[in-house]
Amino acid sequence: MLSARIALILTGLTFAIWETVDIFQIEVPAVAAFFAVSFFGCTMWFWRRESGGRAAIAFLPLFAIEAGSAPFWKHVMTETKLAGIVLGTAGIAAVAGVAATRRNANRSPAAST
């Protein structure tokens, strides 16, 4: 099974690549460029930092915007909208998984008894 850390890195890279391609396909390329840089930056930040607490949380608004805006994308197929929703939701779940893993790792054995 895929760990939450690997899932978050793969989802972040997927959106970074997707937004990079969108720079040349949408009406406002600056928005796609901003999101591409944001996803890539958050992914690299999370990858390089082993703890990843703040880096993982930084992904949350990016994934929420992608998943929430996907139903309203113009001039794209339904499958593309569905992929945006599914990937955004998977990213949010990965952030929750990383946060839960980090929270469990920070608990002391004496506190759990």
Angle between helices 78-106 and 4-22 (to 10 degrees): 150
pLDDT tens digits, one per residue of 45-95 = 998 876 567 888 999 999 999 999 999 998 899 999 999 999 999 999 999
pLDDT tens digits, one per residue of 8-56 = 999 999 999 999 999 998 888 999 999 999 999 999 999 887 656 788 8
Q: Is there a contact between 86 and 104 (Cβ–Cβ < 8 Å)?
A: no
Listed by start position, the domains of the chain span: 4-105
Let me know if 2 is exposed, middle or buried by CB neighbors in 10 A (0-12, 13-18, 19+).
Answer: exposed
Q: What is the dihedral angle through the alpha carbons of 31, 22, 6, 71, rounded to the nearest 10 degrees?
A: 80
